[in-house]
Structure 1
Amino acid sequence: MNWTDERVEKLKKLWSEGLSASQIAAQLGGVSRNAVIGKVHRLSLPGRAKAGGTATPARAAQKRTTSAPRAPNYASRVTTRTVTRQQGATMLKEEIEIVEEIEYRPASNVVVPISRRLGLTELTERTCKWPVGDPLKEDFHFCGCDSPDNSPYCGYHQRLAYQPVNERRRAAAH
């Protein structure tokens, strides 16, 4: 079987519509599913939506989200959802990305403690053991501020280290 220009154009059209290789082979006639797959690869046609997600729309959505200008007080959160849609006689599953703009409001009542810059041998039961810096560098130290009973960290570093359960669940869901 020869691939005429007309048959190649029809293959490209059907492929872009999302038909499977078997469906394209049936419509073209006189060609196998594997022959269609081989020709698609030789033509370097872009991938189509299939179970497990897509390559092309995800990249396009990613480019849109990274190139959009953002105000300094906003952050975006990208969530992925799998949806099913019909393309011709075929049901396709594809992953879509949903971008949500979230306003960022820095807390105005946060007081960052001044570190006492203690070394490991200077720590006690009542000092904050929050590490600061790279342990392999000269300027590595521990916070050293006063810590409440039964806590390895000062009040500020406790809030960083321990999140309420509902915030952890919300962060894990996204």
Structure 2
Amino acid sequence: MTASAWTEDRIDRLRTLWIAGRSAARIARELDHGITRSAVLGKVYRLGLSAGRPPPPKAVVPRVARRRDRRPLTTAVLRAASTSLPDHGLATILSVRRCECRWPYGDPKVEGFSLCGRPVARGAFCGAHAAVAYRSERQTPESLETLAGLR
């Protein structure tokens, strides 16, 4: 019969380290002598220690700056926004980053398809594209024609 690797001293040390918030891998390294991460997790489960452990702190994710001015977008603002739009994208589907505009240029099935790639101002779009994409007021046919550049 083989002796167990879990002596009373190791079990006490496991309890102390686990309650202190150490990871199973780190506890295994500190206990040494053939104790693996899986062995630590199994012993934690059998001892019922996981129920009393507080959850790990959540990672803080920086928030994207939001538009503070909540007034409805007028046709003048939309016209000004549409004149500042480039005629092609700066990023591809593989190169666009998390805080870059995802406004599509062209057909995704055709070569040369790109995304805007400018810094995000609201949602997933830059300021100019957000002005087109997010409209809070009910649109009239005249304002939609102006938006489309038909007027």
When normalised by structure 2's length, the TM-score is: 0.36
Q: TM-score, normalised by structure 1?
A: 0.32
- Report 1 or 2 for greater relative contact order, CA contacts < 8 Å, sequence distance ≥ 6: 2
Identify, as 1 or 2, the structure richer in strand: 1
